[in-house]
Structure 1
Amino acid sequence: MKRKIIVFVCLLLAAALTGTGTAGYLAFLRPADNPPAAACAPASTSDTRPIVVAAGASMTRGTLGADWVGALRTDPQHRGHQFVNAGINGNTTADLLERIDADIVACRPAAVTLLIGTNDVRDGLPLEQYRENLRAIVERVKTRTTARIALMSLPPLGEDLDAPINHTLSGYNAVIEEIAADTGVNYLPLHERMTEVLRQVAAPGPEYSFSFVGALAAATRHYLFGQSWDQVARNGGIRLLVDHIHLSDRGGAIVADLTSTWLSSLPRDRR
């Protein structure tokens, strides 16, 4: 009997590890749908629709949290576009700057969205260095493509808007708005829209508290137990973020709506 119990426990542990490994792969390692390497290679000529490149980090990649790029891809309103997902988990402005030619310029895009900086905030990158990196990104896209460009402000970290990290983040968002104005590109007020939603509830949300374990738990609930990203967020006592960084379905819908409205406003030769 004792041996049977040991075998049973070992089987349970093996199943749990396999399930956790599957969730981890789907959330952290799985390639984004329609990445630049597949969509923008020289041989990829069958799809002649104008290309929209969504460039950024994990919030753009959409494998941990809502896939707002995928939502736009399946939106009948935008079936005239090809959406390329150039989001890479963990990327900073310095990382994106290094891959602009391969992941944006090579696509010859008609439009580019940039949502980048959350990891710079988390890493404590000095504001002046963030400003320099972001300006270089925008200028390089402007000079090497004919794309219309939209810079998005960064979502809150955690849902306590008065937490110290969100006071810090406000400085980075001021830089984003400044650079959009200086370079003549469009500014999409993502942070402002999310803040409006969060302030509708009198009590502040939980303060920022991200961990890899928490992110893996969120991925496990979604990929193994079939919970929507909104359900995962609610289970954690939050609304727009599933793990204090990445987007719930509701949070992703805000990004998709802002982007959709922007794309619809572009001149017809950019659609």
Structure 2
Amino acid sequence: MAQYLFLGDSLTAGNLGCSFVEVLKKEPQMAEHSLINAGVNGFTMEGIRLKMAATLKESSQPEKMILGGGANDILLPYMQSMGPEWDPFIRKLKRHGSVPADNAQAFRETVKMTLSKAFDMKIPEILFCTIPCLGEDLSSSLNRQRQEYNRIIKECCNHFNGAIFDCRCLDWGLIFENELRPSQPGSSYLFRTPEDLGKDSQRLETEGEEVLCQERNLMLTIDGAHLNSAGARLAAQTMLPELLS
């Protein structure tokens, strides 16, 4: 039996929308394996780096660690610039050391430090997932920035892979773009406030995801970022062979 440790933000945590980790757990090939979900809502790449160190000290050594992060390094500054609604949430994250990178170069350094820490803690294999989408309109400024940060993730993985340890990249960004591209221009819907997330959680329970997605013309997410069942299946199906290789 292999142990897989999942570290990331709300996409990994999976408590809003559909969880790709839970989809993976239902796959027959994963029945004998242990999947540990250590995702935390709102965490930035720096928060994930700190969470990784703490988690690895508290748990047994996983055979593979799956990393997913970077979305909040882009989203949190963007959301905060639109009004003060996010201030309490961001202050809470900062108390845990989860601060957004100031720019692309700072993000690059944080990714490098995260991978260096994984190597220092003797993790044999890393699978690093790029950011799927930030809204389903691929021409948006947020998605252009996402593409830049995804290039950084891929470059860092290539730098570490082989020469140092097994560090592969699963390019969810490209996979989701290929799925969304035929329907472009895609929906511009993206959640804006913490209250939006709370309302969506209630509506998912009472109305179901199909209502939200049809209302917002969304294909792979419930709100532009968090996965619906189709997005979670796509994420899990593309990850499964990487986990078993």
TM-score, length-normalised on structure 1?
0.75
| Distance across 2 between alignment mates of 1:208 and 1:115 | 20
**1:81 maps to which of 33, 58, 75:** 33
Pick aligned residue for 2:50 from 92, 98, 101:
98
Q: CA deviation at 1:179?
A: 0.6
Matching residue within 160, 180, 192 for 1:198: 180
1:212-252 deviation per Cα after TM superposition (whole angstroms, max 9, x unaligned): 232222211212x151x344322322111111221111111
The question of whether the paired residues in 2 share the 8 Å contact of 1:54 and 1:87 is answered with yes
What's the counterpart of residue 70 of structure 2?
117
Bigger radius of gyration: 1
The residue type paired with residue 86 of structure 1 is: A
Report the CA distance shift for 1:165/1:203 in structure 2 as closer, same or farther (over 3 A).
closer
* Contact preservation (8 Å) 1:109, 1:146: yes
The alignment partner of 1:65 has SS state of: coil
Which of 126, 141, 144 aligns to 1:164? It is: 141
Distance 1:238 1:203, change over 3 A: same
CA 1:244–1:145 in structure 2 vs 1: closer, same or farther (change >3 Å)?
Answer: same
Q: Is the 8 A contact 2:187 2:216 kept in 1?
A: no
SS in 2 for 1:122: helix
Cα separation, 1, equivalents of 2:56 and 2:235: 20
State which of 199, 218, 222 in structure 2 corresponds to 1:242: 222
Q: Is the 8 A contact 1:56 1:86 kept in 2?
A: yes
SS in 2 for 1:210: coil
* 1:254 matched residue in structure 2: 234
Counterpart in the other structure of 1:127: 104
Find the residue that maps to 2:131 and give its secondary structure. Answer: coil
**Aligned with 2:193 (options 211, 236, 258):** 211
TM-score (structure 2 length as normaliser): 0.82
Query: In 2, distance between residues paired with 1:209 and 1:221?
Result: 14
Name the residue aligned to 1:19.
none
**Residues 53 and 104 of structure 1 are in contact (CA less than 8 Å); yes or no, is this contact kept in structure 2?**
no
Deviation at 1:204, TM superposition (A): 2.6
Residue 135 of structure 2 aligns to which amino acid in structure 1?
A: G
RMSD (Å) for aligned C-alpha atoms? 1.6
Count of matched residue pairs: 215
Q: Does residue 186 of the first structure (1) align with residue 168 of the second (2)? A: yes
Q: Which amino acid in structure 2 is aligned with residue 171 of structure 1?
A: E
- Change in Cα spacing, 1:118 to 1:258, as seen in structure 2 (3 Å) is same
The alpha carbon displacement at 1:254 in A equals: 1.5
Q: Distance in 1 between matches of 2:12 and 2:180?
A: 21
Q: Give me the whole-angstrom Cα distance separating, in 2, the residues matched to 1:102 and 1:86.
A: 11
State the match for 1:177 in structure 2: 154
Q: Is the 8 A contact 2:8 2:38 kept in 1?
A: yes
Partner residue, 2:12: 60
1:233 equivalent to 2:213? Answer yes
Residue of 69, 82, 88 corresponding to 2:21: 69
Amino acid at match of 1:115: G
Mapped pair 1:143 → 2:120: yes
Q: 1:207 Cα shift?
A: 5.0
Quote how far apart the aligned CAs of 1:70 are: 1.2
C-alpha separation in 1, matches of 2:220 and 2:210: 8
The letter of the residue matching 1:196 is: N
- Post-superposition offset of 1:153: 0.9
Identity among equivalent pairs (%) = 23
